[in-house]
Chain A
Amino acid sequence: MKALTRVGQTLLAPVLAVLIALVISAAVMLAIGVDPFRALEVMVDFGDTPSQQTTAIVVVLNRAVPLFLAGLAVAVAFRMGLFNIGVEGQYRMATVLAAGAGAAVSLPAPLHVLVIIVVAMLVGAVWAGIVAVLKVTRGVSEVISSIMLNFIALGLASFLLTGPLRGSEPGASIITTEEIPESGWFPSLNGVFGAIGLADPPRQLYGFLLVALVVGVVVAVVIKRTRFGFDLRATGLSASAASASGVNARRMVLTTMLLSGATAGLIGLPDLLGSNHTYGTEFTSGLGFLGIAVALLGRNNPLGIAIAAVLFAFLDRAAVPLQIAGIPSSVVTIIQGTIVLAVVVANEVSRRITRRQAESGSAVAPPSTGDGSTGGGQGPDGGPPPDGPVGTGPALTNATGAAGRTSPTGSTS
């Protein structure tokens, strides 16, 4: 009976969230004169020919890989109550330097790719490490310092791109770094389609998908099955309690931010190693901010983040067919925003129910979520919503702002 209640509680939040989001989205669509069922039909239509259908799958997966990594990077910090808004800057710095390093060296294929990955992870970790050092030595809120560092990273990446690392010829409209030689490219997974009897699409499926899966499993194991992960989660649930039981809060902040930054460093690599082979002025930006939404939606759980990333990628792809069907593509933004908002609300509701039960003493229920994003509330107020250059819309910005108000724990104090 107890087990059943627990399962019910775990399921309650996401089911509520999805239901609420669907109802609100449908209502908004009706209000702007769009038939919600028609919109849904268009969104799930992957095309007529087998090749179009597999292309659509590739588009969704290729978009999901960086979103998944971004969500992971944010979630690692979230789990211990740190709000790393700096993922954006961390991956930008990592990508531009990794692209530069990749173009500068010449190595046999697997080693070359490995070097690029290691450089990206190191740069991401160092950039996030600045935030951690500021926090443990000077008590600077990581929310503030990581936002500030985003601007510095943007300017620095631009300087590196237009200055020392510039590889495109003068006068070209798109400035890029030197192209990474072919030994540094990550092979695509298109062979898989043939192997399982699907049409081989013209678009390349990023091989980095495999790396992302490995990273996801490693993060899951570290958080759930190691001493470090236990300390991390304990600090996220109650910094003072963890500290009292012997967890070194300073060291935890430092290691967690390094881990989060190293993961963030990988975000740009699917695009860099899979298709662009250069970092340039047109390189996808804003993934770090989207990662916050993805982490929230996935409730900071690697499996949940994977699902959230695929869902976001699926919705993103749908924006194009929606426009062709004469439906405003902002429908997608509305759905993304309401889903994230609904998840935040649902998490909070389920947390309160759990707490009330615990308080009444009827059950020794553990906190139902166990993720940093809803557990806190005792820390300093979160910073302003990230005013990124490419927010997905006001709804998302609000959602991330809400997270900021509940996550920090002030574990150093």
Chain B
Amino acid sequence: MKAAALLLAGSLALAACASDEDTSGSGGSGGGDSSEMPQIGLAYDTGGRGDKSFNDSAYAGVEAAVEAFGGTAEDNIQELSPNSDASNRADLLTQLADQGFNPIIAVGFAYGDVIGEVATQYPDVDFAVVDSTGVDVADNVTGLLFAANEGSFLGGVAAATKSETDHVGFVGGVETPLIQSFEAGFTAGAQAVNPDVIVDVQYISPAGDFSGFNDPARGQVVAQGMFDGGADIVYAAAGGSGTGVFQAAAASGGRAIGVDSDQYETVGDASLQSVIMTSVLKRVDNAVEAYIGTVVDGSVEGGVDVVNDLSTEGVGLSYSGGFIDDIQSTIDDYTQQIVDGEITVPETP
């Protein structure tokens, strides 16, 4: 035990020395030569890159922006993922700011808790947070919000129109207010088409337990139950667990609706591709790209929310695979009614 203590004390002492001497090492990466091209810091929530959905979409947006402004992903983007219990979210943002990254984009509403405190410490850095508000948080925080309920409404319309059993399902990842707004929109959309439609609703994990966003096995069990119970189309608003829903659909000869990204393109498995009827898109990529644009041209204003809804095409349906091409006119019709305000989509179930 003493040896361990000594070693640890030694390493801590080393730490102090090293940080005194090494001033050039890590500071350099964030500095950046070109004044034009921003150094963008990107902080993910649990799940991180490779979820084929939300986080990947954010990265795609940053990448597109960087390329549009003549930078490269390697030089101008720094991605960070939190530790396994995501207790170091604030530290991620602090470190990015310390390394000179600006703007810093936090992906996920969970950052809403901590971003205000960090942003106040770095008034010269622009922050954006996806899915959480920037109003009354700090003057340099922009909230990138999505009317997920409107996109999900169209998903409900497509599901109810295409359903042969008049029975559809909704699998939510975690029972949080955000995912509940997906559920509210989906149910409203399905009932708008067919008031008698049965909508099964189930969440993989309760609020406070975030495993539901990253548990394909349980997603599959839940969806399988719905298919066995007579549903033929199931909407997976469950992040990484959606793969399980697709597998259940493939096993039962049913169909599924993806979420956030065009999952027909991203699922990467031909046998699952054929069951993904459509995806409820949340154009995080467009929102992030547009935000970086405002930072580059200096028009960014903090303390506000940018709401991406049907009218700005921030949400919508994908048509990859051509499964819902035949009902496009119906979809467009409902889209127009929502944009015109004739239909108000509920936000809570």
Interface residues of A (CB under 8 A from B): 10-11, 14-15, 18, 41-42, 44-48, 52-53, 55-56, 59, 63, 154-155, 157-159, 161-162, 170-175, 202-203, 271, 276, 280-287, 290, 299, 301, 303-304, 307, 310-311, 314, 316-317, 319-321, 323-325, 329, 332-333, 389-393
Contact = CB atoms under 8 A, between A and B. Distances in A.
27 contacts: A15-B3, A42-B26, A44-B18, A48-B23, A154-B209, A155-B206, A161-B207, A171-B347, A175-B176, A203-B94, A271-B87, A276-B113, A282-B86, A282-B113, A284-B85, A285-B209, A290-B85, A299-B1, A310-B8, A314-B11, A320-B88, A320-B95, A323-B80, A329-B83, A390-B84, A390-B85, A391-B84
B205 to A, nearest CB: 8
Contact of A389 (B1, B109, B207, B209): B209
B208 A14 contact: no
Interface residues of B, number: 60
Given A154-B209, A202-B121, A311 B19 contact: no
Nearest to B14: A44
A301 B1 contact: yes
Contacts of A203: 90, 94
A162 B1 contact: no
B80 A53 contact: no
B198 interface: no
B237 interface: no
Given A45-B25, A303-B1, A320-B92, A172 B18 contact: no
A324 B210 contact: no
A324 B19 contact: no
A301 B5 CA distance: 13
Contacts of B211: 389-390
A258 to B, nearest CB: 26
Interface of B: 1-5, 7-8, 11-12, 14-16, 18-19, 22-23, 25-27, 29-30, 78-81, 83-88, 90-92, 94-96, 98-99, 109-110, 112-113, 121, 131-132, 174-178, 205-211, 347-348
B191 to A, nearest CB: 21
A324 B95 CA distance: 9
Contact of A317 (B1, B91, B132, B348): B91
A157 B209 CA distance: 10
Contacts of B19: 44-48, 53, 56
Contacts of B175: 158, 162
Contacts of A14: 1, 3-4
Q: Closest 10 CB pairs between A and B?
A: A158-B206, A389-B211, A173-B109, A44-B15, A46-B19, A284-B87, A286-B85, A14-B4, A158-B208, A15-B3
Contact of B207 (A18, A158, A321, A390): A158
A18 B95 contact: no
A12 to B, nearest CB: 9
B15 A45 contact: yes
A387 to B, nearest CB: 10
Nearest to B87: A284
A37 B81 CA distance: 23
B22 A45 contact: yes
Contact of B113 (A174, A290, A392, A393): A174
B178 A173 contact: yes
Nearest to A279: B208
A10 B4 CA distance: 11
A44 B91 CA distance: 16
Contacts of A285: 85, 208-210
Contact of A174 (B15, B18, B92, B112): B112
A166 B137 CA distance: 21
A281 B212 CA distance: 13
Given A174-B112, A324-B78, A283 B83 contact: no
A299 B180 CA distance: 45
Contacts of B18: 41, 44-46
